[in-house]
Structure 1
Amino acid sequence: MLKRSREMLVLWDSSWSDRLWCLFELSAFLKSKADSEHSRLLVTPTFMGPCVVATFLGMFLAVVPLTTFPLDASFLIPMVFVCVFGAFGALCCAHAFRSYFQSVDDLKEKLQSVSLERTRSICCDLNHEGDMMCDREIVKDCITMWFGSQEAFEDCVRSEVLETLTSELEQVFTRPCRIAATGRGLGRARQKTGCSGFA
């Protein structure tokens, strides 16, 4: 399936780099697509979903009072609300972004010193209850077939996987993402209130 797939979507969180299957699947996908121009890797942090939804709702709630209340003394009330709400939202966003980039730095440290033996698999976490087959042994066999040796696999993780992941994760806040989170909210609010001139 990895060889035949043209795209791979990685839903990334801070536990990703500890998971044996995750490391193997991404390494194998990159290795199988090394000479392909048609493959595509999409890396999306799981926190981006709530982040985009919260940003959209925040912008929507901020724009509605600004476009519906008349410009007189009563306008100060919604403005105070928008400022307080905006300040609180900005603090929450700053905390979330700081935690995110800290987790990316942690990822770099983990992958630079990755060891197959220290990775996690669900079967070993459950102590192979009920004669559960060991994923670790299966993945080790796959690694030998795909990479030739455990050392070659670990080198791949420390170089290609590390470079690819950090590049994708550090560019996650792209212009289309920012437009989707903020521009659409503003555009819809203006459409509902009959305002024009939004580009």
Structure 2
Amino acid sequence: MRGIPLQKTLWHLGVLWRKSPLALSPEARTGLWKMSAPASTFDIFLSHTWHTPGKWKILSLFFQSGWRFSFLGWFVGASLMLLASTHKLLPLFIPYRSNFDGATISCGAASRCLLGSLLGHGLGLLLSPYAPSACARRPLCFLDVASIHQTDRELMERGIYSIGGFLHVSKELQVLWSAPYLSRLWCIFELAAYRTANPSGRVVLSPLFVECGACICILGAYFAAFLFVFALPLQHFGIYVVYVVGLLPIYVLMHLLRRNILAKHQLFEGLRFFTLAEARCESDFDHDFIHTAIRAWYGSAEAFTAYVQGSLRQELLASKPTTIPLRYLVLLVGVPFGLSLDFLAALIAREAPMEWLLTEFLAGCLGFNLCWFFGSVQIALFLCDRFAAPWRGGLFDYLQTLVLFLIFFGVYFLGSLMASTSNLWHALAVASASLLFAIVTLVCRRAAVGS
């Protein structure tokens, strides 16, 4: 028995996941075995298929294991840039105008906090695999390519046909689900063997499309934020041209999000209509071995099919893994909040009155860019989920995305109009209404996911 820490599988940008072992040289495959170490138990048994490109597994595991470090990186990056801007250690070259009680301040701003947020998010995520064990949980994993010898034929066979024993001592079976998963017989074998060998073990479904969707949202938010900053110096017609051009990529990202969420419906359909006969593997001997084991455990192939379609499906979906979790939305709202800190820093550097600063913080930072943005994203995710399947193909599919995008943009634009205030009490009302909006959308989202 040999295991590998989850973070170690992501070293060097997840090089271990990038290629199937069949595509590697004998020397490279032997090196994979050396990355693991002797183990007596496993915290996680990673179940996946090499028929899915490794880049999606790398992205998923980076988010799963490194989101806390990404948030910490965002906090540090935005805070340092905020201090540098307020103390005028960095040039503030973008013109910004703020109104309060009939007065106007013209000051310089910059996208420093936004840039610090981007660098913090990215570096925190990429450096998370190298965090010391005292700062992060480092679960020991069974990963086929490292835990089973890939060149010594005797050790390879012993490892493959001992998978049932490995599952028996694994506290958790984590399914890195992708579209081909249920079509691979060895993946089915792992599902079947785990519940038989480890009845009290935990089965966790981790669809790869969840982290992919989160990444699309975060990248789209950064694009829109930087676009807004660069459009500030423009006047009249020029700024509208920039917005129209800039909205096109946001629309494309929303269309990609719809397509990504379609994988969720494939997951439901795959479990509901699963049949063992459609699962394939490369070796006839393995095929006979797996079918014999499943019949011994469940009585017949039909009984196992009923188990997958029924109780296993309910168990996998009970944890509601098919929507973007709150922890990723926390990373997402850090993008506009970082942008709003740039405008707040500009006013602090200009030595605006405290009441003015409070108005900017309540209406802009807390109200619009945190709470209202959070609620707007909840609505966008609900729309993309509810109407992921195209009504009709071709051009109508893109028109469907356009309608959803206009609804989202209308809600978001309404919040920007509310936040355009120059009164402290109005700003307090905006912050309160935005907070209520965020809470209501969160409750509705949970109710919709639960149903």
TM-score by length of 1: 0.71
Among 191, 205, 223, the residue aligned to 1:61: 223
TM superposition shift of 1:59:
0.8
More deviation, 65-74/77-86: 65-74
For 1:27, the equivalent position in structure 2 comes to 192
For 1:110, the equivalent position in structure 2 comes to 273
For 1:4, the equivalent position in structure 2 comes to 169
1:160 aligns with 2:324: no
Distance 2:249 2:183 in 1: 37
CA contact (8 A) 1:13 1:46 kept: yes
Q: Give CA-to-partner distance per residue, 1:138-178, whole Å, 9 cap, x none.
A: 21343245445444433322322222334456633222233
Distance 1:153 1:123 in 2: 21
For 1:90, the equivalent position in structure 2 comes to 254
Among 178, 199, 205, the residue aligned to 1:43: 205
Distance 1:185 1:41 in 2: 33
Q: How does 1:47-196 map to 2 (within 5 A)?
A: 47-70=209-232, 72-73=235-236, 74-97=238-261, 99-111=262-274, 114=275, 116-124=276-284, 134-168=285-319, 171-180=322-331, 182-189=332-339
Query: Is the partner of 1:121 in helix, strand or coil?
Result: coil
TM superposition shift of 1:17:
1.8
Distance 2:277 2:259 in 1: 33
Count of residues in correspondence between the two structures: 182
Distance 2:202 2:291 in 1: 26
Distance 1:177 1:101 in 2: 17
TM superposition shift of 1:103:
1.1
* CA RMSD after TM alignment: 3.1
Distance 1:169 1:142 in 2: 30
Indicate how the Cα distance of structure 1 residues 41 and 186 shifts in structure 2: closer, same or farther if over 3 A, else same: farther
User: Whose relative contact order is higher, 1 or 2, with alpha carbons under 8 Å and at least 6 apart?
Assistant: 1
Name which one, 1 or 2, has greater alpha-carbon Rg: 2
Q: Percent identity?
A: 19
Query: Is the partner of 2:168 in helix, strand or coil?
Result: coil
Distance 2:273 2:290 in 1: 20
Q: Give CA-to-partner distance per residue, 1:98-136, whole Å, 9 cap, x none.
A: x2243134314422xx2x333211224xxxxxxxxx111
Query: Is the partner of 2:214 in helix, strand or coil?
Result: helix
For 1:129, the equivalent position in structure 2 comes to none
CA contact (8 A) 2:192 2:294 kept: no
TM superposition shift of 1:18:
1.9
What is the identity, as a one-letter code, of the residue corresponding to 1:178? L
For 1:13, the equivalent position in structure 2 comes to 178
CA contact (8 A) 1:144 1:150 kept: yes
TM-score by length of 2: 0.35
What is the identity, as a one-letter code, of the residue corresponding to 2:179? S
What is the identity, as a one-letter code, of the residue corresponding to 1:123? S
TM superposition shift of 1:85:
2.3
Query: Is the partner of 1:2 in helix, strand or coil?
Result: helix
Indicate how the Cα distance of structure 1 residues 187 and 123 shifts in structure 2: closer, same or farther if over 3 A, else same: farther
CA contact (8 A) 2:213 2:324 kept: no
